[in-house]
């Protein structure tokens, strides 16, 4: 047994219990009611970094929630790895669909996690995956096995768009200077199929508001004679896709990176079981853009989805009313070369242009970010590849993910460094959903693999 495996085995119960304690704090960044808990979590993360061996730790204030910073600089001549993660979590809603309370972590066995999985909001996204790095550092420090410098930047606003992280990075370029950024906030294909995420989609998030009459009206007295904002909004939304499920916003696809046939064929080699995919989410069929596979639709193609829609009377019983207003929240997932601000602009112009007379339409841009692709030719990828190979006994598969971590493209812009995404979650871990969980096997495997990245990256960088 190698040294790290042995150390992990010896300390695994404590590693699990420490994570459980962190998961008990409800660090929901979206809801101001949890403000004290979010700040309490930042302090807990700072403490854990200190205990793991950071020689300097700090809670850095921003206009929003603080960034937790930690470092262990062993030799200025050696490379520096910057670990990024987030300590905030998604709201637990809908809470009645959880089998056990979201912030009372429990370990349960599942088909895919026979060794047990920790069920709690944030277990996988991202407290569990972030904490793997803290424990990997502890191992390296305790065993005199840290080959390079390390910095941690753990933020508290990822789930609400990282709106102040750009502000923080711009003011702390020197402090954050690094040779590579390492993140565990994505997934892997399967426990026996190691993979490295090489792409993230960009995002444009908007809210739309359709206004008809200046007050809610009696639907008998006025019905049929005035535009109903909900009828209008749903029709406008329906028109945003054509019969081939292409998005109809003019210019939307102009800059989309088209993969070559060879690249698509290579992608198609990654194991993907359509039946299992459907079964896992209870579907009788899949749906999506003509001419692309499910795997492609969810990774290399852009999307437009309504995330929420409301208006009118939704209380008990019936109320005959034509509402004054209707609303929707819409997200567009973007692929390389699409610029999120440009897409937001195109959407706004188009949506306003299709509004019929009788209503007014307002589009309010929320947040967004660019997509990202990690080159597989660089030493960063090579180091990650070698790390997985050493632990899993085979080369990992590069895979593009459909999710977004908008700050990654900003890292490259501001800090001139590449990001390596070593994710250990499974798609079935239910991140953002009720019953989110993280496999104990995955957690420990992550802790085991991370030090090998340090080793191989340092070797490749200094040779």
Q: Which does 396 bind (CB under 5 to 8 A by kind): ligand BES, Mn ion, none?
A: none
DSSP letter at 160?
G
Contact indicator for 84, 162 with CB cutoff of 8 Å: no
Residues 159-218 that bind Mn ion (CB under 5 A): 185
Q: Which does 80 bind (CB under 5 to 8 A by kind): ligand BES, Mn ion, none?
A: none
Binding piece for ligand BES, criterion CB under 6 A, among 44-52, 164-172, 179-187, 266-274: 179-187
β-partners of residue 397 are 195
Q: Does 439 bind ligand BES (CB under 6 A)?
A: no
Question: Pairing between strand 217-218 and 321-322?
Answer: antiparallel
Binding piece for ligand BES, criterion CB under 6 A, among 75-83, 233-241, 302-310, 398-406: 398-406
Contact indicator for 299, 199 with CB cutoff of 8 Å: yes
Question: Pairing between strand 80-86 and 180-183?
Answer: parallel
Q: Does 128 bind ligand BES (CB under 6 A)?
A: no
Q: Which does 161 bind (CB under 5 to 8 A by kind): ligand BES, Mn ion, none?
A: ligand BES
Binding piece for ligand BES, criterion CB under 6 A, among 40-48, 318-326, 401-409, 440-448: 401-409
For residues 175 and 316, give the distance between their C-alpha atoms in angstroms, rounded to a whole number. 56
Give the position of tokens 């603080």: 66
Q: Does 138 bind Mn ion (CB under 5 A)?
A: no
Q: Which is nearer to Mn ion, 90 or 149 (CB)?
A: 90
Pick from 18, 157, 158, 386 the residue near ligand BES by CB under 6 A. 158
Q: Which residues of 85-116 are buried (b: 16+ CB within 10 A; e: fewer)?
A: bbbbbbbbeeeeebeeebbebeeeeeebbeeb
Q: Does 458 bind ligand BES (CB under 6 A)?
A: no
Q: Does 88 bind Mn ion (CB under 5 A)?
A: no
Contact indicator for 448, 7 with CB cutoff of 8 Å: no
Q: Which is nearer to ligand BES, 185 or 386 (CB)?
A: 185
Q: Which is nearer to ligand BES, 405 or 422 (CB)?
A: 405
Binding piece for ligand BES, criterion CB under 6 A, among 55-63, 156-164, 381-389, 455-463: 156-164
Q: Does 428 bind ligand BES (CB under 6 A)?
A: no
For residues 375 and 357, give the distance between their C-alpha atoms in angstroms, rounded to a whole number. 49
**Minimum gap (Å) between residue 48 Cβ and Mn ion:** 18
For residues 401 and 298, give the distance between their C-alpha atoms in angstroms, rounded to a whole number. 7
For residues 103 and 437, give the distance between their C-alpha atoms in angstroms, rounded to a whole number. 12
Please tell me whether residue 375 adopts helix, strand or coil conformation.
coil
Q: Does 228 bind ligand BES (CB under 6 A)?
A: no
Please tell me whether residue 329 adopts helix, strand or coil conformation.
strand
Q: Which does 299 bind (CB under 5 to 8 A by kind): ligand BES, Mn ion, none?
A: none
Contact indicator for 127, 133 with CB cutoff of 8 Å: no
Binding piece for ligand BES, criterion CB under 6 A, among 13-21, 185-193, 303-311, 452-460: 185-193
Q: Does 203 bind ligand BES (CB under 6 A)?
A: yes
For residues 397 and 385, give the distance between their C-alpha atoms in angstroms, rounded to a whole number. 9
Q: Which helix or strand (DSSP H or E) is residue 306 part of? A: strand 303-311
**Minimum gap (Å) between residue 372 Cβ and ligand BES:** 10
Pick from 147, 187, 194, 371 the residue near ligand BES by CB under 6 A. 187
For residues 450 and 460, give the distance between their C-alpha atoms in angstroms, rounded to a whole number. 16
Q: Angle at the Cα of 159 (from 154 to 165), degrees rounded to 5?
A: 50
Q: Does 159 bind ligand BES (CB under 6 A)?
A: yes
Q: Does 155 bind ligand BES (CB under 6 A)?
A: no
Q: Does 429 bind ligand BES (CB under 6 A)?
A: no
**Minimum gap (Å) between residue 334 Cβ and Mn ion:** 17
Question: Pairing between strand 202-211 and 325-334?
Answer: antiparallel
Structural Rg of the chain based on CA atoms: 23
Q: Which is nearer to ligand BES, 211 or 331 (CB)?
A: 331
Query: How many CA within 13 A on the CB side of residue 371?
Result: 28
Q: Which is nearer to Mn ion, 90 or 458 (CB)?
A: 90
**Minimum gap (Å) between residue 357 Cβ and Mn ion:** 41
Task: Kindly tell me the sign of the dihedral angle through the C-alpha atoms of 260, 286, 366, 432.
Answer: negative
Q: Which does 164 bind (CB under 5 to 8 A by kind): ligand BES, Mn ion, none?
A: none
Q: Does 85 bind ligand BES (CB under 6 A)?
A: no
Contact residues: ligand BES, CB under 6 A: 125-126, 158-159, 161, 185-187, 200, 203, 401, 403-406
Contact residues: Mn ion, CB under 5 A: 125-126, 185
């Amino acid at each position: 047994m190698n040294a790290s495996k042995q150390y992990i085995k010896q300390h695994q119960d404590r590693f699990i219990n420490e994570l459980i304690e962190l998961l008990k704090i409800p660090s929901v960044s979206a809801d101001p009611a949890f403000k004290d808990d979010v700040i309490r979590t930042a302090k807990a993360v700072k403490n854990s970094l200190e205990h793991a061996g950071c020689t300097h730790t700090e809670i850095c204030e921003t206009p929003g929630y603080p960034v937790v910073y930690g470092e262990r600089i062993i030799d200025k001549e050696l490379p520096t790895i910057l670990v990024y993660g987030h300590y905030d979590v998604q709201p637990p809603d809908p809470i009645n669909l959880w089998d056990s309370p979201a912030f009372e972590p429990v370990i349960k066995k599942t088909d895919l996690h026979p060794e047990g999985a920790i069920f709690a909001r944030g277990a996988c996204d991202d407290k569990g995956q972030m904490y793997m790095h803290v424990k990997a550092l502890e191992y390296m420090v305790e065993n005199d096995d840290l080959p390079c410098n390390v910095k941690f930047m753990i933020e508290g606003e990822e789930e609400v768009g990282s709106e102040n992280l750009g502000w923080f990075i711009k003011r702390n370029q020197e402090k954050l200077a690094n040779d590579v950024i390492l993140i565990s906030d994505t997934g892997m294909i399967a426990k026996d199929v190691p993979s490295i995420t090489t792409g993230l989609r960009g995002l444009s998030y908007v809210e739309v508001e359709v206004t008809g009459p200046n007050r809610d009206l009696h639907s008998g007295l006025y019905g049929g004679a005035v535009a109903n904002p909900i009828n209008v909004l749903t029709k406008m939304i329906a028109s945003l896709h054509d019969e081939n499920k292409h998005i109809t916003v003019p210019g939307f696809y102009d800059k989309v990176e088209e993969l070559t046939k060879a690249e698509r064929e290579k992608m198609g080699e990654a194991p993907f079981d359509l039946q299992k995919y459907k079964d896992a989410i209870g579907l009788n069929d899949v749906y999506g853009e003509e001419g692309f596979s499910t795997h492609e639709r969810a990774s290399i193609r852009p999307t437009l989805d309504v995330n929420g829609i409301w208006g009118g009377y939704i209380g008990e019983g019936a109320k005959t009313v034509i509402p004054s207003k209707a609303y929707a929240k819409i997200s567009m997932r973007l692929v390389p070369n699409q610029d999120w601000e440009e897409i937001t602009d195109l959407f706004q112009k188009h949506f306003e242009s299709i509004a019929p007379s009788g209503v007014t339409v307002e589009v309010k841009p929320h947040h967004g970010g660019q997509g990202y692709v990690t080159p597989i030719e660089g030493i960063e990828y090579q180091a990650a590849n070698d790390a997985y190979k050493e632990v899993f006994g085979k080369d990992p598969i590069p895979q593009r993910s459909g999710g977004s971590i908008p700050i990654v493209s900003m890292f490259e812009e501001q800090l001139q460094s590449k990001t390596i995404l070593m994710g250990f979650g499974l798609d079935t871990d239910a991140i953002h959903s009720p019953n989110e969980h993280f496999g104990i096997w995955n957690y420990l495997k992550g802790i085991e693999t991370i030090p090998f990245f340090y080793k191989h990256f340092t070797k490749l960088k200094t040779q």
